[in-house]
Structure 1
Amino acid sequence: MKQFIPLCLFLFLNCALFAQNKDTWVSFWDKDTTHIGFKDQNGKIKIEPKYMGLTFANKFDDIIVVSEENKENWKSYYLTKSGKTVGRDSLYIYDNGADCENEGFIRFKDYKTNKMGLFNAQGNIVIPTEYSDLTRVRNGMIIALKGATKVMDSGGDGHFSWVGGKEYLIDINNKILIENFGYNDELNFYSLQKSKEPSKDEIRENFLAVDGEYYSFTNFDKEFKSWLKNNLLTDLSKENLLKNSYDKITYWKEQEAEGWISKPKASFIEQNYKLIKAKLLELKLADCDYHIFSQSLNKFIYEADEYDHYFDNCHQPKDWINPVKNIVISPKNKTDHGQDHFEFLRTGNGYKLISISLRKAELK
């Protein structure tokens, strides 16, 4: 029998803490918009504005990275809700930004050894600095790379790759769950099932754990392709398109000054139904040249509060649970330019059409 493994099994004591911690603090600027502070949900100031620089978190649940001026220098560190400061000069930086807490945990780096570790919500080290790289915590689990060598790319742009080493799936107590666990962006760690035998579900991937049982996870790519084939393309009626669309659909319109604009799905599909249906029908043709890519929700396009759920406390897209699947259709005539794009966001209610851009066609 398959057994669903909830987050609480891994975080046991922490789950009780999370259930009680509903007081998310929100960042605000001072009058000069130069320093950031934090208020609680009632507007009470919890931290006067004094942070800047690498302070990217606009919400504060458990532990964040902050920076403040110290005369002519900067001091950066991790700050907990209780006011505890840890990890001075140990910030984990990627893509020009500091790490953001997830599930009450945040990564840090020892620059003397170039190894990474993990703080919990109280600022205590729960994963020591013995790993070359760590993913963020997802459902109480982390993919950990150990013993690898960093090799810088020849372009001089700061990009690098890891060579060698061994990857593990570990929990937040540094317990190895699965050995030789290759990194995979397509796995939904919140879909974990444990069983005595491998899952036969075609959209799941199985891994033999150190305890002798099998862990299986839904693969986003397999999940989306199965949904596309069996739920959307089998019924391209107006009603089914509406059912499988986000409340607003964003589309590209050449003559608009902003380029990308949004419209309620009902009016958008009513006005563009024939065109959308014709384009999607191409996907059923044997000679259709299309590919499906995984990407993140664009934070510069989807800025309204209604999309806030899909971003973390530093306003980075939560693509580890809500990826965007982009269907890109190329023209049959290879001399033609442009491609058609249909983007679907994975929501709590399944995949929803959220964006369209078409070549040689004007959407209304």
Structure 2
Amino acid sequence: MKKTLILCLFLCLNCSVFAQNKDVWVSFWDKDSTHIGFKDKNGIVKIEPKFMGMIIAHKFENIIAVSEEKGQKWESYYLTKTGKIVGRDSLYVFDNGPDCENEGFIRFTDHKTDKMGMFNGDGQIVIPAIYSNLTKVKNGMIIVLKDAQKKQDGEHFFWTGGKEFLIDTNNKVLIENFAYNDDLNFYSLEKSKKPSKDPVRDSFLGVDGEYYSFVNFDKEFKFWLKKELLSDLSQKNILLHSFDKITYNKPLEDWINEPKEKFVNNNYLYLKLKLQELNTAKTDYFVSTDRLNPFIFESIEYDEYFNNCNESKDWLYPVKSIIINPKSKTDFRQDHLDFLRTENGYKLISVSNAKDNLK
């Protein structure tokens, strides 16, 4: 993966990610654990505890979403490192939580028009609130949905119609008719005059006449699985492609975490047999995409795989799960082998066993 040519942010020369304050502040509670403030790396209090409610940022780099109680009312807004307040009552909220900055940018919602836009780390509007929906910034690029209609389905809503584009943080359209795709690695961008011939890449014709290609996580993982793992199921090779710690569980038991050497040594036969099944056409299995669970993977070795709000950075480090269905149609228990994408390739990180035979 390190050999992948990365054209990092050439699309966005003014991205505030280059000017980020390296002094990252960290959150802390007051004595009553009711309000949150921020300290710098030396433990000096930069903001006294006063925030509560919707704040989810554990670290403060450039801009965060906060809320505080003022009298009998709640005030929510975006706050920059310099103390600038912007976007009062304009928080973008999804799944009961506000947005978290990525690459120095954060999304907001104009609740009068129900449209979305984006602030940079200085609190300036760099993407106006003209879009029905938009993603986080990924390598200076954003997928946006424009002129869609919101439909309600019980407690949930969804979008119909509209057009999707890939834009940069200058609001410049790069690719038209760019459908949302969770499996694209935007940090693997390559540009060329012709579509990429790499089998793990997807190519798209840009408005500038050149082709933008991105590694497709799903294609990448399946190629890696066949070439690097299934071709050599020795204990040494399985260890090589395992995370330092492997988390596993047994039916009706909590998750257990132990060094890879111990786990692979105790369960090598099980791992080998399950992986061998994938080379058999009769095996009923599929591969799905998931994200690292912050409530299971809590220790420091997983920190780089979560953002400042403790959300899994699945846009760069997805979890690919191999789910093996039982041979008997009356048995509904499945085996799960989960592989985390890292800077050093995919690594076996967790195992969920259908039967109580893990050691």
Residue 168 (structure 1) aligns with: 165
Deviation at 1:332, TM superposition (A): 1.6
Q: In the TM superposition, what is the alpha-carbon distance from 1:250 to its structure 2 partner?
A: 0.3
| TM-superposed deviation, 1:13 | 5.6
Please list, as runs of the form range in 1=range in 2, the aligned pairs for 1:1-364 lying within 5 A after superposition.
4-12=6-14, 14-18=16-20, 21-153=21-153, 156-157=154-155, 159-254=156-251, 256=253, 259-364=254-359
Q: Distance in 1 between matches of 2:321 and 2:43?
A: 40
Structure 2: distance between partners of 1:361 and 1:82: 55
Q: 1:122 to 1:281 in 2, by over 3 A?
A: same
CA drift of 1:283 comes to: 0.6
User: Among the aligned pairs, what percent are the same residue?
Assistant: 63
- Structure 1 residue 4: Cα displacement: 4.4
Letter of the 1:340 counterpart: D
Structure 2 vs 1, CA of residues 52 and 137 (structure 1 numbering), >3 Å: closer, same or farther?
Answer: same
Preserved CA contact (<8 Å) 1:8 1:15 = no
Q: Would the alpha carbon gap of residues 358 and 196 (structure 1) be closer, same or farther in structure 2, given more than 3 Å must change?
A: same
Measure the CA separation in 2 of the matches of 1:306 and 1:4: 25
d(CA) in 2 for partners of 1:314, 1:121: 16
**Could you tell me how far apart the structure 1 residues matched to 2:309 and 2:15 are?**
25
User: Is the 2:16–2:103 contact (alpha carbons within 8 Å) kept by the matching residues of 1?
Assistant: no
Whole-Å separation in 1 of the counterparts to 2:69 and 2:172 = 39
Q: Distance in 2 between matches of 1:16 and 1:334?
A: 55
Query: SS at 1:10's partner residue?
Result: coil
**SS of aligned partner of 1:229:** helix
| TM-score, normalization by structure 1 | 0.96
CA-based RMSD: 1.3
Residue 255 (structure 1) shift = 7.2
Whole-Å Cα distance in 2 between the matches of residues 26 and 8 of structure 1?
30
Q: Secondary structure at the match of 1:101?
A: coil
Counterparts in 2 of 1:75 and 1:212: CA distance versus 1, 3 Å:
same
Q: CA deviation at 1:281?
A: 0.5
Distance 1:104 1:359, change over 3 A: same
User: 1:270-321 deviations in whole A, cap 9, x for unaligned?
Assistant: 1110111011110110100001000110111001121111111110111100
Closer, same or farther: CA 95–122 of 1 in aligned 2, 3 Å:
same
Q: Is the 8 A contact 1:11 1:140 kept in 2?
A: no
Displacement after TM superposition at 1:361 (Å): 3.6
- Give the distance between the partners of 1:284 and 1:81, measured in 2 at CA: 53
Compute the displacement of 1:148 (Å).
0.3
